[in-house]
Structure 1
Amino acid sequence: MEKTATLNLRVNPIVKERAESVLSRLGVPMSTAIDMYLNQISLTGGIPFAVTLPKAPDEINADLMTDEQLHAKLKKGYDDIEAGRVQNAANAFAKFRENHGV
């Protein structure tokens, strides 16, 4: 099939870099990957994967906690602060990104 249409897209540069890295290892150009995605949309009649919010584990999902459980978790957090068991937020997020490839 001849390719004559052009798409101009704005995307998050970090997401683009990560996708390009994966596609490069697969030997698939970005334009081919986008074409594959668009073909799948037309073949399946929708987005070809589930679009859902990530599910929080039950032990940290406040929507599933009783008031007592929630208060106990909050109290533990306050106790940790008072005992000095804290981290710098910037360092904690940097470590999270490093551990999770984000």
Structure 2
Amino acid sequence: MSTVPTQIRIDANVKKQANELFSELGMDMSGAVNIFLRQCVLRGGLPFIVEVPQYSQKVMDAMSEARRISRDPEVPGYANMDDLRKALEE
């Protein structure tokens, strides 16, 4: 079977994470993409469901609040459970 070079554009962070995952699985990006494409051909479509998740407003609000809190330098952080317990007991 002959192969042809193919060029695709991928978000740098996604590429890094994918390469780390594929490395753990004993393969490289090319091997993983080949598996994906073969599954697409075999199934006659994408080998997984593609959908937009429908989150409730309550969940969306909680995610927004968590994002805000994680970026707020005024919110204290704790490196271990002992420090967190002390802060909760105060």
With the shorter chain as reference, the TM-score category is 0.5 to 0.7
Q: TM-score, normalised by structure 2?
A: 0.62
Aligned to 1:14: 13
Off by >4 Å, runs of 4+ in structure 1: 87-90
Aligned to 1:30: 29
Aligned to 2:39: 40
| 2:29 is the alignment partner of 1:49 | no
Number of equivalent positions: 67
User: What one-letter code is carried by the residue in structure 2 that aligns with 1:22?
Assistant: L
Which consecutive unaligned segments of at least 5 residues does structure 1 have?
63-86, 93-102
Map Cα deviations across residues 2-44 of structure 1 (whole Å, 9 max, x no partner). 2421110111000000100100111111101000000000000
What secondary structure does 1:42 align onto?
helix
Q: TM-score, normalised by structure 1?
A: 0.56
Over the aligned positions, Cα root-mean-square deviation in angstroms equals 2.6
Aligned to 2:84: none
Distance 1:25 1:3 in 2: 27
Distance 1:10 1:40 in 2: 21
CA 1:53–1:42 in structure 2 vs 1: closer, same or farther (change >3 Å)?
same
Which consecutive unaligned segments of at least 5 residues does structure 2 have?
62-66, 73-90
